[in-house]
Structure 1
Amino acid sequence: MPVPLNLLADCENCFGLCCVVPAFAASSDFAITKPAGQACPNLREDSRCGIHDKLRKTGFTGCTVYDCFGAGQKVSQVTFEGEDWRKTPKTARSMFAVFPVMRDLHELLYYLTEAAALPTSAPIRDDLAGMIDRTDAMTREKPDVIRELDVHPHRGAVNALLLRASELARAAVPGKKKDRRGADLIGAKLKGANLRGALLRGAYLIGADLRGADLRQADVIGADLRDADVRGADLRDALFLIQSQLDAAKGDATTKLPESLSPPSHW
């Protein structure tokens, strides 16, 4: 599935919002502690990261697996019409409040777009198209409206559709499919496992051994793949797999990926 450009991060047209809005604590993912709404000391005046080419080496692995799904440039260039929070400080508080809401909406749009493109989604394609239009309309509201949006009930409605799309896609896989939704599979020994068509939504696969595993048509939405070993794994046609999940995992040239995603540079 070709990913629409508006759902891909475009840092050139963003005011470094992911380096300012989220809070993070010193840990294995971040070298320092930073409160929400405060610019990371590595953020330059031109809204670029000063250590972008060495984030992993300097202890900022968490930054390398973050994805705004294009919300950064949407907030910067559309919602606030190109007003940089540095040059117009009065917009900062509102912009920082809008960004996480927009990020949630763009994430939903990403998944909905993938679901609508699945050949097996024909029975619900009109419902998916309607939900895409509804979600997109929410992203185009004024800042004061967006910041007050309660995305939770909308996410519930979207998730119901995504689950139906998942069921239709996985039903095409012959045989009994494993249901490990939300399962604790931390460090699990799954080398060579047949997980084709499995339901792995929200599963904890941190550090799992997935070498050579077959994950085609497996629903991996929200699955935590941090440090999971996917060398030689077949992830082609994995449902709702996103780039940041790959960025958090460990793979190599033998890992089979969907055409829309790329092998991380550290593999």
Structure 2
Amino acid sequence: MPESTALTGDCANCFGLCCVALPFTASADFAVTKEAGKPCRNLQADFRCGIHTRLRQQGFAGCTVYDCFGAGQRVSQVTFGGADWRQAPGTAGQMFAVFPVVRQLHELLWYLAEALTLAPAAELRPELRELLAATEALAAGTDAAALLALDLPAHRGRVNTLLLRAGELVRATVPGKKRDRRGADLIGAKLAGASLRGADLRGAYLIAADLTRADLRTADLIGADLRDTRLHGADLTGAFFLTQPQLNAAKGDAATKLPAGLTRPSHW
């Protein structure tokens, strides 16, 4: 995974944007329902979470699996120049609308940075660097109106096409036939011990699936839904396009083998 700390949330330099701009509904992930643009009841005056160390115990597990990829501090300190929405309430609506846009751009930056580290995709590095620079230029914009007018689906499509090519080059290094489960509905699937080495699991729905002791080495996991996926003892060595939020949403243990650069979630 990429090492840039700029692509990791820095709450100390953010105005609690994920706690205000985003909506959530009372469920197993959130104890209450909150509308977009309304501060969470746990947000303090200093923009910190009042129950940060007890989120899971208080019914806010959804917060523990979220990461803005650094968009929060970018919007707070760059796009809006360090003027928070409480001091300048007239900017609040625009700030909250811009945040999800920049968050998507930062997620794309994370994937592009990851792709640049994949040795089998070395031939794509000039294109990856060019697109990374273009994405960074968009995310660094200080014109909120321009960010809101951005054709994000079109840009995401360009990035996705290149990432797909990178993934194919990496998976091609795995000998034999690889499973293609791209976008597959594998909710609750019984895949304990399954051989998924080099598999294409892009966008697969693996919610509550049992992947205990599964071989996921060099698998493409971009966009895979790993909520409550059982990864106990699974081997994810070399799995790529796997983000920390995806891992945080899953279940595992000390025997789960992780790709370099990812952290074992504290709740495992």
Query: Does the pair score TM above 0.5?
Result: yes
- Number of matched pairs: 267
Scaled by the length of structure 1, what TM-score is found? 0.98
Q: In structure 2, what is the equivalent of residue 107 of structure 1?
A: 107
| 1:126-145 matched pairs, under 5 angstroms | 126-141=126-141, 142-145=143-146
Q: Distance in 1 between matches of 2:101 and 2:188?
A: 33
Q: Distance in 1 between matches of 2:84 and 2:148?
A: 18
| 1:172-183 matched pairs, under 5 angstroms | 172-183=173-184
Q: In structure 2, what is the equivalent of residue 125 of structure 1?
A: 125
Q: In structure 2, what is the equivalent of residue 51 of structure 1?
A: 51
Q: In structure 1, what is the equivalent of residue 264 of structure 2?
A: 263
One-letter amino acid matched to 1:240? F
- Large movers: runs of 4+ above 2 Å: none
Gaps of 5+ in 2: none
Partners of 2:24 and 2:33 within 8 A in 1: yes
Q: In structure 2, what is the equivalent of residue 203 of structure 1?
A: 204
One-letter amino acid matched to 2:174? V
| 1:154-173 matched pairs, under 5 angstroms | 154-173=155-174
Deviations 1:165-196 (A, max 9, x none): 00000000000000001111111111111101
SS state at 1:23 partner? coil
1:97 to partner: Cα distance: 1.2
Q: Distance in 2 between matches of 1:266 and 1:219?
A: 24
Q: Distance in 2 between matches of 1:33 and 1:246?
A: 25
Q: Distance in 1 between matches of 2:237 and 2:99?
A: 32
One-letter amino acid matched to 2:46? D
One-letter amino acid matched to 1:62? G
SS state at 1:255 partner? coil
Q: In structure 1, what is the equivalent of residue 150 of structure 2?
A: 149
One-letter amino acid matched to 1:16? G
1:71 to partner: Cα distance: 0.1
SS state at 1:12 partner? helix
1:2 to partner: Cα distance: 4.2
1:114 to partner: Cα distance: 0.2
Q: Distance in 1 between matches of 2:149 and 2:255?
A: 46
Q: Distance in 2 between matches of 1:59 and 1:19?
A: 15
Percent identity among equivalent residues?
64
Q: Distance in 2 between matches of 1:140 and 1:227?
A: 35
Deviations 1:20-75 (A, max 9, x none): 00111111111101000000010001000001111111111111111100000000
SS state at 1:147 partner? helix
Matching of residue 252 in structure 1 with residue 247 in structure 2: no
Partners of 2:2 and 2:117 within 8 A in 1: no
1:148 to partner: Cα distance: 1.6
Q: In structure 1, what is the equivalent of residue 98 of structure 2?
A: 98
Q: Distance in 2 between matches of 1:188 and 1:42?
A: 36
One-letter amino acid matched to 2:101? V
Q: In structure 1, what is the equivalent of residue 12 of structure 2?
A: 12
RMSD: 0.8
Q: Distance in 2 between matches of 1:157 and 1:144?
A: 22
Bigger drift between 141-150 and 65-74 goes to: 141-150
One-letter amino acid matched to 1:211? T
Matching of residue 67 in structure 1 with residue 83 in structure 2: no
Q: Distance in 1 between matches of 2:50 and 2:214?
A: 38
Q: Distance in 2 between matches of 1:18 and 1:150?
A: 22
Q: Distance in 1 between matches of 2:232 and 2:97?
A: 39
Q: Distance in 2 between matches of 1:122 and 1:222?
A: 22
Partners of 2:20 and 2:39 within 8 A in 1: yes
Q: Distance in 1 between matches of 2:185 and 2:36?
A: 30
Q: Distance in 2 between matches of 1:52 and 1:122?
A: 41
Partners of 2:2 and 2:113 within 8 A in 1: no
Q: Distance in 2 between matches of 1:90 and 1:2?
A: 36
Partners of 2:196 and 2:216 within 8 A in 1: yes
Deviations 1:151-170 (A, max 9, x none): 00100010000000000000
SS state at 1:93 partner? helix
SS state at 2:149 partner? coil
